[in-house]
């Protein structure tokens, strides 16, 4: 598998995103597998399927169906410095009953925040939208403040600072999750514009 480049793998991933899961497997006539996944920008992609298509991009369609060898070897190859990808392994789904609900104390280290900033961000937002609060990314509106989060555009984990109301964005819970989960790393949440674009695209995909 020396015929593999990071660029080709990223192209295969983009292709997977474009076609969507079902169409991707149908188009390349590949069987999905369920244990090894490439983790990329908060998403997981079938490792072998992506690798097959990436190899096809480099060495021609025919190689897509050639044997890849053992999963562990493929993982090792993908994680080598020149490709620099992250592969995760999921064991079979857990299907036994688990005892839950016991109460216990935990200790947590948290960053200091001033609740007055969030409150003011909500107030200004409501003021601008005739008494309703509006998600700055997707436009969802509601009168309940509890339906929204005040999100720090630059995350507090980066360190101490003097925050202004303008350093916060008012987001609905889904857009807030999107900001953090779809970003490459936790220090750089997606900017509001990108959340908006991403959610719009996701909506279009669903309609198709
Ligand atoms: Zn939203
Ligand atoms: Zn946030």
Q: Please state, in angstroms and rounded to a whole number, the distance separating the CA atoms of residues 178 and 12.
A: 23
Residue ranges covered by each domain of the chain: 6-89, 115-207
Ligand 1 centre distance from Cα of residue 15 (Å) = 27
Ligand 1 centre distance from Cα of residue 150 (Å) = 12
Is the confidence at residue 1, as pLDDT, over 90?
Answer: no
Ligand 1 centre distance from Cα of residue 203 (Å) = 12
The predicted structure's pLDDT at residue 208: 67
How confident is the model over 30-44, as a mean pLDDT? 88
- Which residues lie closer than 8 Å to 122 by C-beta, 6 or more apart? 133, 145, 148, 150, 170
Lowest mean pLDDT among 85-94, 146-155, 171-180: 85-94
Ligand 1 centre distance from Cα of residue 173 (Å) = 7
pLDDT tier, 95 (very low <50, low <70, confident <90, very high otherwise): low
pLDDT tier, 99 (very low <50, low <70, confident <90, very high otherwise): confident
Ligand nearest to the CA of 169: 2
- Which residues lie closer than 8 Å to 34 by C-beta, 6 or more apart? 90
The predicted structure's pLDDT at residue 96: 60
Q: List residues, by chain if needed, whose CB lies under 5 Å from ion ligand 2.
A: 151
Ligand 2 centre distance from Cα of residue 149 (Å) = 8
Write down the mean pLDDT value for the chain: 91
Ligand nearest to the CA of 191: 2
Ligand 1 centre distance from Cα of residue 160 (Å) = 27
Is the confidence at residue 92, as pLDDT, over 90?
Answer: no
Ligand nearest to the CA of 136: 1
Ligand 2 centre distance from Cα of residue 165 (Å) = 14
The predicted structure's pLDDT at residue 2: 62
């Amino acid at each position: 598998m020396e015929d593999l480049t990071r660029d080709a793998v990223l192209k295969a991933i983009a292709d997977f995103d474009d076609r969507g899961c079902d169409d991707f497997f149908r188009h390349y006539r590949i069987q999905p597998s369920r244990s090894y996944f490439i983790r990329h920008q908060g998403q997981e992609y079938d490792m072998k399927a992506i690798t097959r298509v990436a190899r096809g991009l480099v060495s021609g369609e025919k190689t897509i169906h050639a044997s890849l060898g053992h999963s562990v070897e493929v993982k090792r190859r993908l994680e080598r410095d020149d490709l620099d990808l992250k592969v995760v392994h999921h064991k079979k789904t857990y299907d036994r009953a688990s005892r839950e609900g016991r109460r216990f104390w935990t200790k947590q280290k948290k960053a200091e925040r001033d609740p007055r900033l969030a409150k003011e961000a909500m107030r200004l937002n409501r003021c601008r939208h005739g008494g309703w609060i509006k998600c700055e990314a997707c436009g969802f509106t509601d009168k309940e403040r509890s339906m929204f989060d005040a999100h720090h555009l630059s995350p507090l984990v980066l360190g101490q600072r003097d925050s202004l109301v303008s350093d916060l964005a008012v987001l609905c819970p889904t857009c807030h999750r999107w900001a953090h989960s779809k970003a490459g790393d936790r220090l750089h949440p997606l900017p509001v514009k990108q959340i908006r674009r991403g959610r719009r695209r996701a909506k279009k995909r669903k309609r198709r």
